[in-house]
Amino acid sequence: MGGGECGRRGESRALGVLADSTAGARVAGRAIVQSWIKIGADSNYRTQSEGKLVEDDQRQSDALGIAQYVASGLAPYADSDDFLEEMKSANVPHPFDTHPSLDERMRNVVVRIDEKEFGRIAASVPAESWVTDILNAQGIEQRLWADYEKKFAAVHEQNLSYRYEPANEAERAIVLKYFPPVTFELKGGKRIALTYAGPILPEQTETLSWDKVTKLNYVDGFGGDLLRIEHPEKGWLGAKTTKVKLPGIKKERARFKEVLGRYWQRHQYMRQQMAHKA
């Protein structure tokens, strides 16, 4: 498998070099390199801009204005102290090779542009573009951006549901949207519920906080499944353990395990994020 993967990467790299060389022979090499500089700068700045949005702990609207933000901030970015250093290692999108550097691609077309020109090239606005030949190009682009930003905001909101403790009702609403209480019926009229805050065990009314859980161990049994919960506090024989019998859960076993694991994982991730910010 390893040799095959290396072989595919080598073939991809060879195709990439051939594509660049062919383009350089058919089109002005300098124009091609200038386009790579602009693409690399735009890609870097957009990645940074979206990264800041991802890190934001506030829910975002569907209309983020990423395109406008990138367009207005690209020129100042191209004039910044970090720009040249970041461009040296910039990966320029390529149809065959996913990670070619700008320097490598310039070697492929045998054209080199001085780094001092990068900023001016990145910030320059073309006098004309083939985009104007596309009927309603602006409308198409606006629709594509609107759809992208809507999906971006939705993914960000779901990510927030993993980050929030929650600390207020607005945050709680987002967490509940993705982690609502899920109840599983057991034999004898018993039930067990899983919530973002922790499980509600059979014959209990209070939630067992996930903070009072250090380990979960699910045991499939012929006579009935068992959930073993270890707690932070110690007992006479080591870690204190609660054994929860789950009679009649067999038909819902797979779903119960999936929900249990996902809610437990959410809590651990949330605590890690809060500790990181502290």
Structure confidence by residue, pLDDT tens digits, 216-236? 999 998 778 999 999 988 766
Q: 242 has which bridge partners?
A: 229
Give CA–CA dist 257/266, Å, rounded.
Answer: 14
Residues in the chain, total: 278
Question: For residue 240, is it left (φ>0), alpha (ψ between -120 and 50) or beta?
Answer: beta
Instruction: Provide mean pLDDT across the span 105-112.
Output: 74
Structure confidence by residue, pLDDT tens digits, 197-215? 999 999 999 999 999 999 9
Q: Are 101 and 92 in contact (CB under 8 A)?
A: yes
Lookup result for tokens 């996902």: 262
Q: Note the pLDDT of residue 153.
A: 92
pTM of the prediction? Answer: 0.76
What is the token pair recorded at 202?
Answer: 């059979």
Domains of the chain: 2-135 (no CATH), 179-277 (2.30.29)
Instruction: Provide mean pLDDT across the span 95-113.
Output: 69
DSSP state of 167: -
DSSP state of 90: P
Q: Are 30 and 111 in contact (CB under 8 A)?
A: yes
Instruction: Provide mean pLDDT across the span 115-139.
Output: 86
Three-state SS for 204-263 is CCCCCCHHHCCEEEEECCCCCEEEEEEEEEEECCEEEEEEEEECCCHHHHHHHHHHHHHH
Structure confidence by residue, pLDDT tens digits, 160-182? 999 999 999 999 999 999 999 99
Most confident of 74-78, 129-133, 137-141, 215-219: 215-219
Helix and strand counts by DSSP (H, E) for the chain: 9, 6
Q: Note the pLDDT of residue 126.
A: 81
